[in-house]
Homo-oligomer: A and B are copies of this chain.
Amino acid sequence: MATLGDFLRERREALREGDRSYSLRQVAQRIGVEPSFLSKVERGESPPPSEDTLRRLAADLGVDADTVLALAGKVSSDLQEVIRRRPTLFAALIRELKDLPDHAVLRLVREVRDGDW
């Protein structure tokens, strides 16, 4: 699995091929941090930004926020809140699904979405 920094830098440089506004400086300005800070984040020299900053960054780069947060070692606060509201219930579920293959979990997601739960 790529590191957060590599992932962000690769994505930004890819976008930059077709759009000069994806320079480190301009992205930094759009998401509201100092260029030097974003530079350090992309090179893994700084501990990852806050959830809010990561979300703005993910949005600017057009990538999935949950993925970026995961690479930063974080879990979205809205998911955490769902778990905190019913901790034993969701803990049981997640531990049950821990080792299931993707397709099985996905089947579950669809079942819930389509079924009359």
Contacts and interface: CB of A to CB of B under 8 A. Distances in A.
Contact of A75 (B70, B80, B98): B80
B67 A87 contact: yes
Given A75-B80, A82-B98, A84-B75, A90 B112 contact: no
A59 interface: no
B91 A79 contact: yes
A96 B113 contact: yes
A64 B86 CA distance: 12
How many copies of this protein are present in the complex?
2
A112 B94 contact: no
Interface stretch (A5-13, A26-34, A99-107): A99-107
A97 interface: yes
Contact of A112 (B66, B74, B97): B97
A89 B105 contact: yes
A83 interface: yes
A58 to B, nearest CB: 11
Interface of A: 64, 66-67, 69-70, 73-76, 78-80, 82-98, 100, 102, 104-106, 108-109, 112-113, 117
